[in-house]
Copies of this chain bind each other. A is one copy, B any other.
Amino acid sequence: MSALAALLSVDWGTTSLRVYLLTADGGVLDEREAPLGIMNIAGGAFAAALHDACRPWLERHGPLPALLSGMIGSRQGWIEAPYLPCPVALDELGRHLTPITVPDFGPIRVAPGVTARDRDGVPDVMRGEECQIVGALALMAIDGGTFLLPGTHSKTVTVAQGRIIGFHTCMTGELFAALRTHTILGRLMGAASGDGSGFARGVDAARGLQGAGQLLHAIFAARTLRLFDELAEDEAADYLSGLLIGAELGGIAAGDGELILIGSADLADRYRRAARRLGIATRDAPAACVRAGHLALATQAGLVRR
């Protein structure tokens, strides 16, 4: 039975669409990826895009249920799946899925996002990462920890006893890209093809930063060190990367316990190296957290029977 197709796991973000054909015990029968993120879908043609991505599987296996997460559930996506406020028990997510009906598919459900408020009442949001957390807990057989999901908008998430207690976003990835591509820092910066020494220097420079304003100054070193030939052209981008990741991790260093990294291999590797340099213990979540999260929510919602 377990080799039968049971669920379409759909990770649908701003820039890409990834679909997995899963068995009821999480095996991957097939997978497809397309650069069809929500920003690239014209005229709201989301149903057609999903149909195109899954067509051979639907033809072969009939109408399958689908679990969607990511920016597809945002106001700019297919349908707005409301946010659940923190603290939120992770099994509540499966009770708050937003339904969509599309011919040829079984039941389609969109995962909710999660919101948090900091002590000043400023809101924060995640959408998609909550499924990765659900999957990580399931795959690692744990019910809590501090998770870091690197990315364009990096998330640090505190989970205890199966509840997301709180989280905060850092714009580390997007800030790096904007500084490199759209400021003077990029002018003297070559491809990041060096030996990684620039990354380590950047992390070390972040260690000494005290206040928020110092970051506004520290990033300028990616230019001045180049002006004085004190940083190689192929290390400058890595220096800036190390500085920003180090600054982000510096805010976490006070926490206790190990940091669980969830994310793409290359980016997680940068965070792992920076954390080691800053004396922060890390542990890697398995690679397949998103689809494990989709399967857990779909099972909980009765779309899949194990």
Chain A interface residues (CB < 8 Å from chain B): 120, 122-125, 153-154, 168-172, 174-175, 178-179, 181-185, 205-206, 208-221, 224-225, 227-228, 230, 244, 247-252
Q: Per a CB cutoff under 8 Å, which of B153, B214, B228, B250 touches A220? A: B153
Q: Per a CB cutoff under 8 Å, which of B122, B206, B216, B225 touches A225? A: B122
* In the complex with contacts A153-B220, A169-B220, A224-B123, A213-B183 CB distance below 8 A: no
Contact A216 B244 (CB under 8 A): yes
Q: Which of A122, A183, A219, A221 has the most CB of B within 10 A?
A: A122
**Chain B residues near A206 (CB-CB < 8 A):** 212-213
**Chain B residues near A168 (CB-CB < 8 A):** 217
Closest to A121 in B: B230
Q: Per a CB cutoff under 8 Å, which of B174, B184, B211, B250 touches A247? A: B211
Contact A214 B175 (CB under 8 A): no
Contact B215 A215 (CB under 8 A): yes
Q: Per a CB cutoff under 8 Å, which of B224, B247, B248 touches A125? A: B224
Main secondary structure of the interface of A (DSSP, over half): helix
Q: Per a CB cutoff under 8 Å, which of B120, B183, B209, B212 touches A250? A: B212
**Chain B residues near A179 (CB-CB < 8 A):** 175, 178
Closest to A230 in B: B123
Contact A213 B175 (CB under 8 A): no
Contact A122 B224 (CB under 8 A): yes
Contact B178 A213 (CB under 8 A): no
Q: Which of A120, A125, A175, A184 has the most CB of B within 10 A?
A: A175
Contact A249 B124 (CB under 8 A): no
**Chain B residues near A182 (CB-CB < 8 A):** 178, 181-182
* In the complex with contacts A175-B216, A244-B216, A211-B250 CB distance below 8 A: yes
* In the complex with contacts A179-B175, A183-B178, A220-B153, A213-B170 CB distance below 8 A: yes
Q: Which of A120, A170, A217, A249 has the most CB of B within 10 A?
A: A217
- In the complex, besides A171-B185, A181-B182, A213-B251, 8 extra interface pairs with C-beta distance below 8 angstroms are A120-B205, A122-B225, A153-B184, A168-B217, A178-B178, A209-B212, A212-B250, A213-B248
**Chain B residues near A224 (CB-CB < 8 A):** 122-125, 169
